[in-house]
Amino acid sequence: MKRAIFNDRLLPYLLLGPQLIVTLVFFIWPSGEAIWQSMLLEDAFGGSSRFVWFRNFERLFDDEGYWASFETTAIFSIAVATIGLALALLLATTADRSLRGAGAYRSLLIWPYAVAPAVAGVLWGFLFNPGAGLLPYYLNLMGVAWNHQINGNQALLLVIAAACWNQVSYNFVFFLAGLQSIPRALIEAAAIDGAGPGRRFWSIVFPLLAPTGFFLLVVNIIYAFFGTFGIIDALTKGGPARSTEILVYKVYSDGFRGQDFGGSAAQSAILMGIVVVLTVVQFRFIERRIHY
Amino acid sequence: MATLQLKDVRKSYGSLEVIHGVNLEIADGELVVLVGPSGCGKSTLLRMIAGLERVSAGTVAIGGKVVNEREPKDRDIAMVFQNYALYPHMTVFDNMAYGLRNRRTPREEIEVRVRDAARILELDEYLERTPRQLSGGQRQRVAMGRAIVRKPAVFLFDEPLSNLDAKLRVHMRVEIRRLQQALRTTSVYVTHDQVEAMTLADRLVVMNKGVAEQVGSPVEVYERPATTFVASFIGSPAMNFLPVSVNGESRTLTLRGGQPLTSLDSPSPAQDIIVGIRPEDIHLQPNGQGEAVRLVVGIDLVEVLGADSVLHGRLVGSEDRIMARLPGIHRIRAGESLPLFVAPDRFHYFLQSGRRMAQQ
Amino acid sequence: MVENRPWLTVLSHLVLLAGCLVIVLPVWVAFVASTHEAATMLRPPAPMIPGTHLLDNYATVLFEGFGQASRVPQWLVLFNSLVMALGITIGKIAISITAAFAIVYFRFPLRMTCFWLIFVTLMLPVEVRIVPTFSVVASLGMLDSYAGLIIPLIASATATFLFRQFFLSVPDEMAEAARVDGAGPLRFFRDILLPMSRNSIAALFVIQFIYGWNQHLWPLLITTKESFYTIVMTVSRQANVQDGVVQWNLIMALGILAMLPPVLVIVFMQRQFVRGLTDTEK
């Protein structure tokens, strides 16, 4: 806590004003609206709506499509998180070895973070485009018929690949920072104790990296849940046959395309609950990390 | 130039009072050192003078005017902080000029004052550098420069030397004293280092637990410490304290083991009192005129410092711990017992409460 | 490394090379496509060697526009993206740094309430509350405007926390020295705190610029006039054209243009980027 403080009465409110106004108008109000709307049922022709308590939620939980979207989201986010983290860890540990050209590798590996998810989706869509793409042509030669516009599993694979590609540099930066903060003397002590590179990794490096890894796990799940909207929208629009419709995309498509405002709002409310849980987990963890 | 008066100054945080009414009059041009262990309230007191902490009760007056409600900038003070608080992105010149600029001092005047200060502090060559590019001692001097360019009524120093290494600290201590004597600016200096306090101060304020235990010149405080706390805080190694009992009519003092020590000239107000002996008042021989008290000490450790040696041991009989500081090198082995001598006029007498006994 | 094992070094190089290859492949294919004629694109497989139509394609995209979604010259769309990205970046930094200043250096009623209100925004990504946010912005008449593109996205808990964290690490004495030097709160902010924050500002700038530039859903929803389209949303609109011939060469040129500015920012401000990334998450 600061002891050096100024005594003005009005000034702090003026300084906080812009942030607070933007927050209230564009965050708190719409979120309140979402929760309110989640309890309203709009009649089919628009105009009138009535308050129905939790009917929208009940309707949602009775809807197999919603559960299917849950399942898709689970598969998608677990895949994105594990593959993205594993690849990033592999690349970071190899880049951390003081190799010749390590700096160049690093530069080459970090820039995909700058590519918008939507653009990443378009790039991967082109790469795998059944008509014009490079890879389907060779896959066909190998006997694999690739068409993610028809085949739901292939579509899911593709969005997972694009999401990992987009996120791997983020994980890479954190793992590399984590690796570089491990004191050199520890590694050297282990080497003197007779541990080879593999053993050193599993017995020294990996445990010390675990906090970073856990933190990244939460961030990656949040990313897979919400940050991949652009990839889905640009690549598959949730299709084919809703096979890549993750929860956050369903909020959008039910709300804007399906005009089911009550249902979409109920989904928003549920997602907010999920973010709250994830954020709390993340912050509890960060509190620990400060002490460590 | 100004005087500084504190009248019953108190500070509380909520219901917790941490400064319990300090009274102090500082004359124009005087350097007063607030000294005490950490947490004694010396820094809080200084910050109240600066206006960085509110005064909960009492008054602070600078140049005869009560400044309780004035902002720091309106008190005509300058302050040197423990960590210097130099603005990291500004050059040495700008660091010193910042306060003047905020006061709309004319540009030429700023230039003159900063150059003057830089010359006095031997910073001429460094004016265009940033604090990052300076050594600890140079940074400290910039912090001083920032204070002196302002030509304030009062300088406030908050442990300005404690971030320097031992050698540099001695050097800067001397420089600060010279500077202050040249400028003759009223100064308040906070430190926990008793050597710094003794060497710098015109007058000392020894603080303990939010109370000014003694105010006086360094010699006064050393020669006649008002309490056992002051006696143990000023002087190194710290004063020895021997609990003794006063033998009624004869006014004889006896140690816990029953050994008689000396006799008091006047009646004691209490049965049990404390005799304080400075380690440097203990000798191997009963030198000089007059009687000397003989103490037999079992030695358990000898620290040879070169210029003198410090003996650690216990009085044979009473088992009181005692330290003696003897000039020169002494090859005394641990385990030996030897007689040591103290002139009784070097004794300090304290009551059980810790207060110095009157008259003695 | 602690010991010298040649095979391990070779293996490391191989892993890294493979990684770089996978990372680069989609972008290389896109770039190559953007240098060929439309006709080449219709004969699979897509080429791997650059063609000769680079200038033609990019000139077409930038100055003429093409297809259903990009009938206006795309330099305008790039300009919109730049306005949006800079607006969001500067807006976020400006309102966050002042908010953090208020929270750290002042004590006032409802201080903690304000702090929590800002904190809560962390938990509400725009995608989650998209429908009601859209209706709020619509009811404020901010559709098809720069204000609508920028202002709803400038609240930032992460930036506020980053600055708060930084301000807490600034020694108390800095503000006290400034007070003794006669500086009031605003002057202290301008003369001392702001210059001291420049590293944090640079790091945040990189992160937020990328965030702003890469917005997709928001501009997609609130713009109906092409003169307010941004590049990222245009790319995905173009790629999803339902009827007619898909002009992959031009779409890929558009895609390259869309990713170039943020990629350049990362490449040239790598240090600030890494710092920004690791700091904002603390």
For B261, other C-beta atoms within 10 Å of its C-beta total: 19
B51 CB contacts (<8 Å, ≥6 apart)? B67, B70, B71, B72, B75, B77, C179
Q: How confident is the model at residue A62 (pLDDT cuts 50, 70, 90)?
A: confident
C154 DSSP β-pair partners? none
Domain containing residue C274: 54-280
pLDDT of residue C83: 93
| 3-class secondary-structure state, position B143 | helix
Half-sphere exposure of C54 (CA within 13 A, CB side): 9
User: What is the rounded average pLDDT for all residues in chain B?
Assistant: 90
What part of A 161-180 touches C (C-beta under 8 Å)? 165, 168-170, 173-174, 177
Classify domain B4-233 at the CATH topology level.
Rossmann fold (3.40.50)
Neighbour tally for C125: CB within 10 Å: 18
Total domain count, chain C: 1
Cα–Cα distance for residue pair A52/A38, rounded to 1 Å: 9
Contact (CB, 8 A) for B62 and B50: no
Which of C29, C127, C176 faces A134 most closely, judged by CB atoms? C29
Chain C residues touching residue B88 (CB < 8 angstroms)? 196
Look at B81 and C191 and tell me if their CB atoms are within 8 Å: no
Both tokens of B151, joined, read 């030509």
pLDDT of residue A63: 80
The arithmetic mean of pLDDT across residues A207-232, rounded, is 86
Provide the pairing of β-strand B260-263 with B272-277.
unpaired
ipTM for this model: 0.86
- Token digits of residue A106: 């690093």
CB contact under 8 A, C263 and A276: no
Residue of C nearest to B97 (CA): C181
Backbone angles phi, psi at B248, to 5 degrees: 20, -115
Cα C235 to chain center, whole Å? 16
Structure tokens at A25: 């108008």
Rounded CA separation C179/A241 (Å): 66
Is C180 among the domain residues? yes
CATH 2.40.50.140 domain span(s) along chain B:
240-350
**What's the fold here for domain A64-291?**
MetI-like fold (1.10.3720)
What is the Cα gyration radius of chain C? Answer: 23
DSSP for A216-230, written as a single string: HHHHHHHIIIIITHH
C85 is written with which tokens?
């990205």
Q: How many CB pairs (< 8 A) connect B and C?
A: 58
Place of tokens 């970046």: C89
Residues of chain C with C-beta less than 8 angstroms from the C-beta of B72: 176, 179-180
Say how far apart CA C270 and CA C252 lie, in whole Å.
26
| Domains of chain A, residue spans | 64-291
**In the 8-state DSSP scheme, what is residue A89?**
H
CATH 3.40.50.300 intervals, chain B = 4-233
d(CA C162, CA A125): 36
B82 within 8 A of B30, measured Cβ to Cβ: no
At A292 the pLDDT is 35
Model pTM score: 0.83
Segments in chain C below pLDDT 70:
1-4, 44, 68-70, 122-123, 242-245, 279-282
Question: Buried b vs exposed e over A4-39: b needs ≥16 C-beta within 10 Å?
Answer: bbbebeebbbebbebbbebbebbbbebbebbbebbb
Q: What are phi and psi of B296, to 5 degrees?
A: -95, 125
Give the CATH number of the domain where residue C135 resides. 1.10.3720.10
Supply the pLDDT for residue A1: 58
- B263 CB-near residues (< 8 Å, 6+ apart): B250, B251, B252, B253
The single-letter DSSP state of residue A178 is H
pLDDT digit string (tens) for B139-197?
A: 999 999 999 998 899 999 999 998 888 888 898 899 899 888 888 999 999 999 999 99
Q: With bands split at pLDDT 50, 70 and 90, how would you rate the model's confidence at A290?
A: very low
In C, which residues are within 8 Å of A8 by CB distance? 106, 185
Asked whether B88 and C197 are in contact (CB, 8 A), the reply is no
Confidence of residue B200 (pLDDT cuts 50, 70, 90): very high
Tell me: the pLDDT tens digits for C22-40?
A: 888 888 888 888 888 877 7
* C253 in a structural domain: yes
Three-state DSSP at B243 gives: strand
* Range with top average pLDDT, A29-33, B212-216, B334-338: B212-216
CA dist list (Å): A221 to A275, B61, C176: 10, 62, 44
For residue C53, report the phi and psi dihedrals to the nearest 5 degrees: -100, 20
Strand partners, B246: B253
Closest chain C CA to residue A231? C236
**In sequence order, what DSSP letters do the residues of chain C get, joined into one string?**
--S--HHHHHHHHHHHHHHHHHHHHHHHHHHHHTTS-HHHHTSSSPPSS--S-HHHHHHHHHHT-BTTTB-S-HHHHHHHHHHHHHHHHHHHHHHHHHHHHHHHHB--TTHHHHHHHHHHGGG--TTTTHHHHHHHHHHTT-TTSHHHHHGGG---HHHHHHHHHHHHHS-HHHHHHHHHTT--HHHHIIIIIHHHTHHHHHHHHHHHHHHHHT--HHHHHH--SGGG--HHHHHHHHHT--SS---HHHHHHHHHHHHHHHHHHHHHTHHHHHHHHHHHT-
CATH fold label, B240-350 = OB fold (Dihydrolipoamide Acetyltransferase, E2P) (2.40.50)
Please report whether residue C9 resides in a domain: no
Query: Which of C96, C121, C132 is opposite residue A37, by nearest beta carbon?
Result: C132
Tell how strand B57-62 and strand B211-216 pair up: unpaired
Looking at beta carbons, which residues of chain A come within 8 Å of C117?
20, 23-24, 28
Tokens of A57: 């939620």
**Cβ contact C216:C81 at 8 Å:** no
Q: Is C183 on the interface with A (CB under 8 A)?
A: no
Q: Do C179 and B72 touch (CB under 8 A)?
A: yes
**Residue A276 vs residue B101, higher pLDDT:** B101
Q: Does any domain span residue C231? A: yes
Cα-atom radius of gyration of chain B, to the nearest Å? 24
Share of chain B above pLDDT 70, in %: 99
Given A129, A197, A234, which is nearest C236 (Cβ)? A234
Judged against a pLDDT cut of 90, whether residue B7 lies above it is answered with yes
